[in-house]
Structure 1
Amino acid sequence: MKMNWINEITDRFPQKKIYLVRDDDGLLMIDNVKVELSELDVSVITYGDPVHFRYTYETKFGRKFDGTLLIRLVDTGFQEVPWDVYQKAFRESIEIADIFPFLDSKAVKELDIEKWEQLYNAQQSLTTRQNYVSSMKFIERVIYHEAEVHISMILDPYVEDLTLFNKKAPVLREWGEIARLIGEHRLYRRMDEEFELLVDGANKKFQEYLKKEYDRNLSLPPAKQPNYVNQILNYLYRIQGISGRKLALIVMDGMSFTQWSVVEKWLVNKSFDFRTEATMAMIPTITSVSRQAIFSGKRPSEFPETITRTSSEPIQWRKFWKEKGFLENSIKYQKGLGHTDYQDTVLEFRYAGTDIYGCVIDVVDGFMHGAKQGLETVQSELRIWLEKGFLESMLSDLMNLDYDVYITSDHGNVEATGIGRIQEGILATGKGQRARIYDSEVLRSNTHDLYTESTIEWESVTLPNKGYFSVIAKEKFAFVPEGEIIMTHGGMHVEEVIVPFVKVLKRDDR
């Protein structure tokens, strides 16, 4: 199903819940939006006089209400809503910039709403945010002066890049472009069944690519960006040596390009810019393997003693930078960030004398493992979290303190379907939903022989050659009850392996 600008609004409310919605641009009052919400059985009331609101809320949406209710706020803070409603409601904000992320909102407001659909489709050709003047020129060119044939020539990145999916043998750089395209396509055109079939076909080729090239590409120099996550630290050390600036690395645990597209769009609207590249996670794509590779700068084969846990990350992070000549008290590491309000969080990059800062924000991983309705739940929860401003405030402070800031992920995620649990008792030392780990090659082979159609035996020089043997679920299968749909990770799918590697830029750094 092709995405339109109204979907950008309605898709924000996938659950039967109460939402507090900041709507300062009046989007919920547009006739076409009201019709679409009504057809989806979504009710909308505007918060105004507290007494009138209380009467309407109690009489129409009391305790027995089990639908979706949007409480529309205009120039009103969330906290002004009665506490009993506030505490059980999701909080969301919608504005013109959410629909037209690369165009100036004031310029869009001056255009008749009837022409928004044409502008929405045409904006896909833009890759950077336009100011008011350039937005008006773009709108004038698209809406008022362009012949129909010229409109068709406006580059649609999805049409152009879809040919990449059909390429017989994409190279490493092109797999990064494909992964990014998947995220962007889902952002603008969710629920596109034809596109998902393209993704499935591309992933089959990606599996063959991994078997042939994953180990071979380890020798490629990380020139423009690190090719694998274990190369990130040496890449950053080289960049830091050139710039001489303070350095911050933010690892968004579990974030695929599909989630990064949401984050990037949100932050572009908040006056950030980015240079987004791609890198490959360690396989199996589980936190103790791939995230530890990031913070140690090593392949998993080089930390066999700690490969099943993450507790050594701060030790390995500090060891790497100390060996590069940095004083220990100038090197900081934090994890578990993003779960509290920003102003209530102690962040060590603010300490005087901090030169190297590494941290883990693991909210995406939490949303993923708690998702009840698959990918849409993750995306919705992510938007709500972004609205709270933690990441925006953190990046602003880091930039103001003159850090070079990078964002990456240890692995992505997929929406997988259960094929049944593997009943092995204590035979498996690692019992992930997409990867099983054994300390014996014989045990690993026995499991694979029983589940040949749904599993792969993964061999790589990046893994220890003793005591660590992995079986990975094929396609989008998961070792959970048959037919169950979950968001998970651990496997070799292109959306799990190819992850973002992002440099945060100031506007004048572009």
Structure 2
Amino acid sequence: MNGWRKQIIDQLPYSYHSTIFLKDVDNLLSDEDIILFLQKENISLVQVNDRAELRRIYESNRNYEKGKWIYCVTGNKEFTFPFDMLQQGYYIELNIHDIMPSFSAQIIRQLDSEVLDALYAVSPQQQGSLSNADTCNFILKRVYKLAYDLVETEEEWMNLLIKIHESRYPLAPILREFIKEKIERKGISKEKLTLIESRAIFYQYLQAQWEEFVKQNINNDISVKDGYIDTYHKEHFLHSEHIQRAIQHLFIEGRLQAVEIDVERNIPLWAQNGVKQRSYNPLKDIQYLVDKVDSKLLIERKHHKDWIEIIDTFSQIKDLQLNYNMEKETVDSLASQVDAQFKEWMLTDYRALAGLSPYIKPAMVHHILPHLQLKDEKKQALIIMDGMSFIQWKQIKHALESNFTFEEYGVFAWVPTITEISRMSIFQATIPRLQKSTREEKAWKQFWNKESISDMHITFENILAQGDFSSKEFSALERSNNKKAAIILRNIDKLTHGAIQGLEGMYAEIDVWLKTNYLQDLLLHLKESGYSTYITSDHGNKESVGIGKVKQGSLVETKGERARIYSDPVFRDDAATQYSSVKWPNYGFSDDRHFLVAESGEAFVTKGQHIVSHGGISIEEVIVPFIKVY
């Protein structure tokens, strides 16, 4: 442990106190490396939001004797720990100013841990204290490498926006506002200035500009030759060679959609990815994406954000393979490489995710509701697509993107990746060990009741969406005073368990369902009704081949196709000696639960049987989409 993390650890007196109550003003402990260090020291970090939740968890942990505990409240809100607890522990506050005193705390407290790493590395270059403006300038120039002050034209502004939205580091709101203020003085319109605020909105604008560009230039055979610009079109920013080079990969990665044209044309090299002709062959695009995943796999120390990028790219590859019925060998080989490394990471680093804060982004499914709670949104709808993987999301996105724009991210499901565990974690908003025996609907209402929202403003639906959409199915759309709506759509999970033709069969059946426009019409109604809508899943799915049924009768508590749950570790260990499998540690569960999960691509079903199922620790099952709909 070094750098700013070491300074944080050095402030925690865990050697002398088994219980620490901590106010983390600047969200400093929400870091995978810090949490893993604490866990190796047998210290559990528990994020709490209110005193009632703190009391429930604290009393539960008093009977859970192993280890030490840090109870953490994030942010600068008014919160006092109960006196009787403080008598049994130690209280401390963490503040970013103590870690990097040269920079404005108001600015750097909005940065996530990766940006702090980069800033800490260059901080010795700065002597003395900086103002807010100088801190912003230092970060943008030294960390993000953005020459924002050199922007003079629309072309240069668009080029800067691409760099900002494609950066590994998210740009904090206060930095976005700083850039907007500087660029506004250059005469850039307010409409184009707002494109810095959201990646989704920027890509929507870029897509519209590209479609117009194709219509005016390529479809009319105007300026289609490399290096040629006629007088009429020379001012369009897409004629810039810098922009052309910058956007080519956006089409391959699915961030921008290629425009289909009916007549075969001789398209210049830079534009070929943005135009889809009848002769299109995805092999070149697939190889580009495979190379991108391979480069990610070479990173020695991967964090959960790296795996989210990997599953996003891998799913784009799989979508191309399924959509164009390409051979599976290359994709299956890549999947084996990804899952082999992912398994190692899951067994060592996954356990840190539960302790991360949902303050900026949710990391696990039980962070989703606390994350929504932090949003300043009057009406919220959470759509849970039961069993939807990132691969299915890519297919669904194609059917929706002509009417909606999406801010895409990923969250980690709980393992075993089965509905009864991972979906309940969404609604109870806590780790499995602390969950109560409560129905999902009741848990959803209780969560918002704590925010002083009464049941009359909360709705819950669990639907198998069939036929044409009807708003009468959803009380949230019928009641104008509704504020919080949970909608479970079971279609994908239903198709998963009946997928006798594998993912190819599922792809075809999902396509049939999407053509009913049920989901599109639901999202349109929610938008018209004033909802901020989010789409997520409780777990993904994996195509697998049977290695044989485990015959243990009543000795096993839950008999899943890719996961088995035992109350006695002896029976779990006995099965593990007979079948290819992974003895999964009971992270987040009580000591009386013991898990056995199948290896990637295998299932505890009749030998040789092909299925699509879930429960295991493959990347396709564990990381699921978390989408904001615009």
Say if 1:125 and 1:381 are closer, same or farther in 2 by CA, change over 3 A. closer
User: Is the contact made by 2:467 and 2:516 (CA closer than 8 Å) also made in structure 1?
Assistant: no
Verify: 1:394 aligned to 2:522, yes or no.
yes
Identify which of 400, 411, 422 aligns with 1:279. Answer: 411
Q: Which amino acid aligns with 1:274?
A: F
Give the corresponding residue for 1:9: none
Could you tell me how far 1:169 is from its partner in structure 2? 3.7
Verify: 1:469 aligned to 2:594, yes or no.
yes
Give the corresponding residue for 1:64: none
The 10-residue stretch of structure 1 (454-463 or 393-402) with the greater mean CA deviation from structure 2: 454-463
User: Is the contact made by 2:289 and 2:314 (CA closer than 8 Å) also made in structure 1?
Assistant: no
Could you tell me how far 1:127 is from its partner in structure 2? 2.0
Could you tell me how far 1:443 is from its partner in structure 2? 2.1
Distance in 2, Cα, partners of 1:278 & 1:258: 12
Q: Which amino acid aligns with 1:251?
A: I
Distance in 2, Cα, partners of 1:129 & 1:444: 48
Say if 1:343 and 1:217 are closer, same or farther in 2 by CA, change over 3 A. closer
Distance in 2, Cα, partners of 1:457 & 1:160: 31
Give the corresponding residue for 2:299: 167
User: Is the contact made by 1:102 and 1:130 (CA closer than 8 Å) also made in structure 2?
Assistant: no
Verify: 1:376 aligned to 2:519, yes or no.
no
Structure 1: gaps spanning 5 or more residues: 1-99, 133-137, 147-151, 307-311, 506-510
Secondary structure at the counterpart of residue 215 of structure 1: helix
User: Is the contact made by 2:471 and 2:522 (CA closer than 8 Å) also made in structure 1?
Assistant: no
Give the corresponding residue for 2:449: 322
Give the corresponding residue for 2:424: 292
Could you tell me how far 1:402 is from its partner in structure 2? 1.1
- Aligned ranges 1:310-389 → 2 under 5 Å: 312-343=439-470, 346-350=473-477, 351-389=479-517
Verify: 1:202 aligned to 2:334, yes or no.
no
Q: Which amino acid aligns with 1:110?
A: N
Distance in 1, Cα, partners of 2:254 & 2:412: 27
Give the corresponding residue for 2:103: none
Say if 1:126 and 1:328 are closer, same or farther in 2 by CA, change over 3 A. closer
Could you tell me how far 1:304 is from its partner in structure 2? 6.0
Say if 1:126 and 1:408 are closer, same or farther in 2 by CA, change over 3 A. closer
The 10-residue stretch of structure 1 (329-338 or 406-415) with the greater mean CA deviation from structure 2: 329-338
Map Cα deviations across residues 211-257 of structure 1 (whole Å, 9 max, x no partner). Answer: 11111232222243210001100001001xxx232000000000000
Could you tell me how far 1:122 is from its partner in structure 2? 9.2
Identify which of 583, 586, 604 aligns with 1:457. Answer: 583
Distance in 1, Cα, partners of 2:435 & 2:250: 50
Q: Which amino acid aligns with 2:365?
A: V
Identify which of 309, 316, 320 aligns with 1:177. Answer: 309
Secondary structure at the counterpart of residue 318 of structure 1: helix
The structure having more radius of gyration, on CA atoms, is 2
Could you tell me how far 1:196 is from its partner in structure 2? 2.1
Secondary structure at the counterpart of residue 208 of structure 1: helix
Could you tell me how far 1:121 is from its partner in structure 2? 9.7
Q: Which amino acid aligns with 1:486?
A: I
Map Cα deviations across residues 322-363 of structure 1 (whole Å, 9 max, x no partner). Answer: 012111110111112413421275112111211000011010
Structure 2: gaps spanning 5 or more residues: 1-206, 225-246, 261-265, 275-283
Distance in 2, Cα, partners of 1:285 & 1:101: 39
- Aligned ranges 1:12-161 → 2 under 5 Å: 104=211, 107=215, 110=219, 123-124=251-252, 127-128=255-256, 142=270, 156-161=288-293
User: Is the contact made by 1:301 and 1:461 (CA closer than 8 Å) also made in structure 2?
Assistant: no
Secondary structure at the counterpart of residue 374 of structure 2: helix
Identify which of 367, 391, 403 aligns with 1:231. Answer: 367
Say if 1:344 and 1:238 are closer, same or farther in 2 by CA, change over 3 A. closer
Distance in 2, Cα, partners of 1:259 & 1:221: 28
Distance in 1, Cα, partners of 2:268 & 2:529: 40
Could you tell me how far 1:130 is from its partner in structure 2? 8.2
Say if 1:304 and 1:316 are closer, same or farther in 2 by CA, change over 3 A. closer
Verify: 1:488 aligned to 2:613, yes or no.
yes
User: Is the contact made by 2:586 and 2:595 (CA closer than 8 Å) also made in structure 1?
Assistant: no
Map Cα deviations across residues 114-162 of structure 1 (whole Å, 9 max, x no partner). Answer: x9xxx99994266235899xxxxx9667469x9xxxxx99x95554344
Secondary structure at the counterpart of residue 226 of structure 1: coil
Say if 1:456 and 1:129 are closer, same or farther in 2 by CA, change over 3 A. closer
Say if 1:330 and 1:457 are closer, same or farther in 2 by CA, change over 3 A. same
Say if 1:299 and 1:200 are closer, same or farther in 2 by CA, change over 3 A. same
User: Is the contact made by 2:365 and 2:426 (CA closer than 8 Å) also made in structure 1?
Assistant: yes
Say if 1:126 and 1:217 are closer, same or farther in 2 by CA, change over 3 A. closer
Q: Which amino acid aligns with 1:503?
A: K
Say if 1:102 and 1:455 are closer, same or farther in 2 by CA, change over 3 A. farther
Could you tell me how far 1:314 is from its partner in structure 2? 0.3
Give the corresponding residue for 2:386: 253
Q: Which amino acid aligns with 2:219?
A: E
Give the corresponding residue for 1:478: 603
Say if 1:126 and 1:338 are closer, same or farther in 2 by CA, change over 3 A. closer
Map Cα deviations across residues 402-438 of structure 1 (whole Å, 9 max, x no partner). Answer: 1110000000001000000011111111111001111
Secondary structure at the counterpart of residue 222 of structure 1: coil
Could you tell me how far 1:102 is from its partner in structure 2? 10
Map Cα deviations across residues 268-313 of structure 1 (whole Å, 9 max, x no partner). Answer: 1x3211010010000000000001111111211122646xxxxx10
Verify: 1:219 aligned to 2:350, yes or no.
no
Secondary structure at the counterpart of residue 342 of structure 1: coil
TM-score of the aligned structures, taking structure 2 as reference length: 0.56
Distance in 1, Cα, partners of 2:398 & 2:390: 12
User: Is the contact made by 2:250 and 2:256 (CA closer than 8 Å) also made in structure 1?
Assistant: no
User: Is the contact made by 1:102 and 1:126 (CA closer than 8 Å) also made in structure 2?
Assistant: no
Say if 1:317 and 1:143 are closer, same or farther in 2 by CA, change over 3 A. closer
Secondary structure at the counterpart of residue 608 of structure 2: coil
Identify which of 530, 550, 553 aligns with 1:422. Answer: 550
- Measured on the aligned residues, the alpha-carbon RMSD in Å equals 3.2
Q: Which amino acid aligns with 1:459?
A: P
Secondary structure at the counterpart of residue 473 of structure 2: coil
TM-score of the aligned structures, taking structure 1 as reference length: 0.68
Say if 1:139 and 1:266 are closer, same or farther in 2 by CA, change over 3 A. farther
Give the corresponding residue for 1:263: 396
